[in-house]
Amino acid sequence: MRISLQEAADKLREAGRIVVTAHVNPDGDALGSSLALYHLLQKLGKTVQVLIDDDIPDAFGFLPGIEVIAKPDEEKYQADLLVLLDVSMDRVGRVIERCPAPILNIDHHITNDEKADYLYLDADRAATAEIVYQLAGALQVVPDKAAATCIYTGMSTDTGNFRYSNTTPFTMRAAADMIEAGAEPHVVSEALEKRSFKEVQDRARAMQTIEVCADGKIAGLYIGNDLYETLDTTEGFIDGVRIIDTVRVAILMKEVEPGKCRVSMRSKGVDVSSIAASFGGGGHIRAAGCTIEEPLAAAKAKLLAAVEKAV
């Protein structure tokens, strides 16, 4: 059931024990939104547990409160409300089965499955963190430095550091508010952009294997499992593909296990969320992803057939 922002805030106010979760393979928005909400709810005296059913990338170690995040274990979690951030019901791993509580879903993905008990969805917001910023207002809680840093990080990562088309005047005003509240842009960006020497070399090698097709409109990096296993990160690789001047759809395909490929897509003017959705994934018009359960060559052929049709 769709609800308003104020109704979402009321649900949070009414609950005493709240579990907060976000999507597996967590990014800056998933983690920033979850921890920001954690800090805001702590201020309201709530008992809050943040559960993420995946490993947390080391790069996010700077986020205030990161140490409170736990993976769900075998026990059941008693809560009055389970909050799903930056995700639908499908990509939260085992959290839903371990936490039998009414579900409040707060999201900005146009592909949200609308299956939660209560859904506040605003696809015009650049990041779920931007909605958490609005929620702070609705809850009448002023973000402290910790919450502001988390909100700023979610907004920064989902907008490519305030460069993508989802960056609005509202985004910039909200970010300015968060800086005023204590977020430090250079601290966030330095933490997120730093790479080891090996990672820089790996990236340079990977970039040499970019393949271009459809008169340059499609460019992709296709990383087989053997190569994937040698890489410490592929974070940011797709940006190196996206910036090619002729490209309308950029692809990063990684065979994360033999026979299982993770796909990221970025676009200029082509709706990649519907391409991703046709493979069971989702996302936004200009940034989407999916998983294709095929070896690299077969997954690549299937994806390219769909992308070629779209460009």
Q: Give me the residues that bind ligand 5GP (CB under 6 A), please.
A: 27, 91, 109, 111, 264, 281-284, 287-291
Q: Which does 254 bind (CB under 5 to 8 A by kind): ligand 5GP, Mn ion, none?
A: none
Q: Which does 289 bind (CB under 5 to 8 A by kind): ligand 5GP, Mn ion, none?
A: ligand 5GP
Q: Which does 34 bind (CB under 5 to 8 A by kind): ligand 5GP, Mn ion, none?
A: none
How is 291-302 classified by DSSP, letter by letter? EE-S-HHHHHHH
User: Residue 81 in contact with residue 53, Cβ under 8 Å?
Assistant: no
Q: Which does 282 bind (CB under 5 to 8 A by kind): Mn ion, ligand 5GP, none?
A: ligand 5GP
The residue among 15 and 30 lying less far from ligand 5GP, judged by its C-beta, is 30
Could you give the CA distance from residue 290 to residue 25 in angstroms, rounded to a whole number? Answer: 12
The token pair at 125 is 């917001």
Within 10 A of 71 (CB to CB), how many other CB atoms are there?
A: 13
Residue 109 CB, nearest approach to ligand 5GP (Å): 6
Q: Which does 283 bind (CB under 5 to 8 A by kind): Mn ion, ligand 5GP, none?
A: ligand 5GP
The residue among 22 and 69 lying less far from ligand 5GP, judged by its C-beta, is 22
The residue among 9 and 50 lying less far from ligand 5GP, judged by its C-beta, is 50
User: Residue 148 in contact with residue 188, Cβ under 8 Å?
Assistant: no
The token pair at 77 is 């979690």
Residue 25 CB, nearest approach to ligand 5GP (Å): 7
Q: Which of the 8 DSSP states describes residue 60?
A: G
The residue among 64 and 281 lying less far from ligand 5GP, judged by its C-beta, is 281
Could you give the CA distance from residue 242 to residue 190 in angstroms, rounded to a whole number? Answer: 22
What distance, in Å, lies between the first and last C-alpha atoms of the chain? 35
Q: Which does 290 bind (CB under 5 to 8 A by kind): ligand 5GP, Mn ion, none?
A: ligand 5GP
Residue 46 CB, nearest approach to ligand 5GP (Å): 26
The residue among 154 and 283 lying less far from ligand 5GP, judged by its C-beta, is 283
The residue among 47 and 165 lying less far from Mn ion, judged by its C-beta, is 165
> Which stretch of DSSP H or E encloses residue 95?
helix 95-98
The residue among 5 and 285 lying less far from ligand 5GP, judged by its C-beta, is 285
Q: Which does 287 bind (CB under 5 to 8 A by kind): ligand 5GP, Mn ion, none?
A: ligand 5GP
The angle at the Cα of 244, spanning 241 to 245, to the nearest 5 degrees, equals: 155
Residue 14 CB, nearest approach to ligand 5GP (Å): 28
Tell whether the torsion through CA atoms of 47, 117, 129 and 191 is positive or negative: positive
Could you give the CA distance from residue 290 to residue 278 in angstroms, rounded to a whole number? Answer: 9
Sites of contact with Mn ion (CB under 5 A):
27, 29-30, 86, 127-128, 158
Q: For the chain, what is the radius of gyration of the CA atoms? A: 19
